[in-house]
Structure 1
Amino acid sequence: MQKVSTLSIDLAKNVFQLLGVDSQGHPCLSKRLSRSKLKEAIINLPPCEIVMEACASSHFWGRACLAAGHQVNLIPAQHVTPFVRGNKNDKNDCLAIYEASRRPNIRFVPVKTEQQQAVLILHRMRERVLSARTACINQTRSLLLEFGIDIPQSYSKFKQELRELLTHSLQPAVLLMISEVYDELTHFERKIHLLDDLFKQENTRSEAAQIIQSIPGIVLINTSAFVASIDKGQAFKSGKEFAVWLGLTPSQYASGNTNRLGSITKRGDGYLRKQLIHGARTVVTHASKKDDDLSRWITALKQRRGHNKAVVATAHRLARLMWILLQKNESYQPQYTQQGAVHHV
Structure 2
Amino acid sequence: MKLSTISIDLAKHVFQVMGFTNTGKTLFNKRLNRQQLIEFMQMQIKCRVVMEACYSSHYWGRTFESMGHNVGLIPAQHVTPFVRGNKNDSNDTLAIFEASCRPFIRFVPIKTMAQQEALILHRLRERLLGTRIATSNQLRGVLTDFGIIFPVGHKGFNEKLIDLCSDESLSETLRWLVNDVYSEYALLNNRIKEIEKKLKSEIERHPLGKVVLSIPGIGYLNASAFIASIGNGQAFASAKDFAVWLGLAPKQFASGNKSIMTGISKRGDQYLRTLLIHGARAMINHAGKKQDALNQWVCQLRERKSFNCTAVATAHKLARIMWTLLQKNSYYTPQIAKEITQ
Task: State whether TM-score is above 0.5.
Answer: yes
**Is 1:108 matched up with 2:107?**
yes
Q: How far apart in 1 are the matches of 2:143 and 2:262?
A: 43
Paired position in structure 2 for 1:143: 142
Paired position in structure 1 for 2:158: 159
Counterpart AA for 1:23: N
Paired position in structure 1 for 2:313: 313
**Is 1:174 matched up with 2:174?**
yes
Q: 1:299: Cα distance to partner? A: 1.0
Aligned residues: 340
SS in 1 for 2:136: helix
Q: How far apart in 2 are the matches of 1:326 and 1:32?
A: 42
Q: How far apart in 1 are the matches of 2:35 and 2:323?
A: 40
**Is 1:32 matched up with 2:37?**
no
Counterpart AA for 1:233: G
What TM-score comes out, normalization by structure 1 length? 0.96
Paired position in structure 1 for 2:126: 127
Asked if structure 1 preserves the Cα contact closer than 8 Å seen for 2:162 and 2:182, the reply is: yes
SS in 2 for 1:37: helix
Q: How far apart in 1 are the matches of 2:232 and 2:328?
A: 10
SS in 1 for 2:107: coil
Q: 1:328: Cα distance to partner? A: 1.2
Counterpart AA for 1:240: K
Paired position in structure 1 for 2:191: 191
Deviations 1:74-132 (A, max 9, x none): 00000001111110000110111011111121111000111111111111111111111
Q: How far apart in 2 are the matches of 1:126 and 1:167?
A: 30
Counterpart AA for 1:260: I
Q: How far apart in 2 are the matches of 1:133 and 1:318?
A: 30
Q: How far apart in 2 are the matches of 1:250 and 1:175?
A: 53
SS in 1 for 2:339: helix
Q: How far apart in 2 are the matches of 1:194 and 1:29?
A: 50
Displacement over 4 Å in runs of 4+: none
Counterpart AA for 1:308: N
Asked if structure 2 preserves the Cα contact closer than 8 Å seen for 1:4 and 1:29, the reply is: no
Q: 1:172: Cα distance to partner? A: 1.9
**Is 1:290 matched up with 2:287?**
no
Asked if structure 1 preserves the Cα contact closer than 8 Å seen for 2:211 and 2:331, the reply is: yes
Paired position in structure 2 for 1:19: 18
Give the RMSD, CA atoms, in angstroms: 1.4
SS in 1 for 2:208: helix
What TM-score comes out, normalization by structure 2 length? 0.97
Paired position in structure 1 for 2:323: 323
Asked if structure 1 preserves the Cα contact closer than 8 Å seen for 2:291 and 2:337, the reply is: no
Bigger mean CA deviation after superposition, 42-51 or 148-157 = 148-157
SS in 1 for 2:35: helix
Q: 1:166: Cα distance to partner? A: 2.5
Q: How far apart in 2 are the matches of 1:45 and 1:273?
A: 41
Q: How far apart in 1 are the matches of 2:328 and 2:112?
A: 23
Question: Unpaired segments of 5 or more residues in structure 2?
Answer: none
Paired position in structure 2 for 1:337: 337
Q: 1:338: Cα distance to partner? A: 4.4
Counterpart AA for 1:10: D
Asked if structure 1 preserves the Cα contact closer than 8 Å seen for 2:17 and 2:93, the reply is: yes
Paired position in structure 2 for 1:77: 76
Deviations 1:13-60 (A, max 9, x none): 111001111011111111111110000111111000000000000001
Counterpart AA for 1:26: K
Counterpart AA for 1:41: F
Deviations 1:299-326 (A, max 9, x none): 1111111100000011110000000011
Q: 1:170: Cα distance to partner? A: 1.3
Paired position in structure 2 for 1:221: 221
Q: 1:71: Cα distance to partner? A: 0.4
**Is 1:252 matched up with 2:215?**
no
